[in-house]
Copies of this chain bind each other. A is one copy, B any other.
Amino acid sequence: MDARTDKPRTRIQIRNRETILDAALEVFSQYGFRGATVDMIADAAGLSKPNLLYYFPSKEEIHVTLLSQLMDTWLDPLRALDAEGDPVEEILAYARRKLEMSRDFPRESRLFANEIVQGAPRIGASLSTELKALVDDKARVIAGWSAAGRIAEVDPHHLIFSIWALTQHYADFDVQVRAVLGPARDPLREAEVFLDSLFRRLLLP
């Protein structure tokens, strides 16, 4: 029975695959795909390299597994945007959820950023299908709110981009933000207040 091809069956397989993916997330998000080595991941996971390769057939397979698991949960906040809710509050809540993800899952954010900055060689396809479909759908909802005069007139796609840019910035550029603000301040708490008022001013009709 090959632990690398079939779904994990034993408790040891489940535990070790989880350990490996967590270690790989740590290493990949910090050094990028090519900057990370199998040895680094194995060390971080507390396993020997051959043992790690018993659970995943290759370094690339680990990376792909991480990315596809990520894409799934990464878009949940946008999926939750409710066409029936109050427009301004829905959009603000979306921005707030995205900012929470920057705070709670900065490694995931940086893994994604690394992939996109380098041209999305491994997930490019799903961007123009899966992601585009979802964004287009929600953009239509926002455009409807605009047309009905319930929020100001804004390009819905760029509104969504601005939420991504502003929230992910606090995870992806964390070092820079902290270097500039100095040690006494709390970037993500401040960002919550700032972004809330920014999007409120932008959206109020």
Contacts and interface: CB of A to CB of B under 8 A. Distances in A.
B165 A169 contact: yes
Contact of A119 (B30, B34, B155): B30
Given A32-B32, A173-B117, A132 B179 contact: yes
A33 B35 contact: yes
Contacts of A201: 152, 201-202
**Interface SS of A by simple majority:** helix
Given A132-B179, A132-B182, A190-B155, A113 B117 contact: yes
A117 B117 contact: yes
A198 interface: yes
Contact of A165 (B116, B128, B165, B193): B165
Interface residues of A, number: 52
Contact of A162 (B128, B135, B176, B194): B194
9 contacts: A31-B34, A31-B118, A32-B34, A33-B35, A35-B35, A120-B175, A131-B176, A157-B180, A162-B166
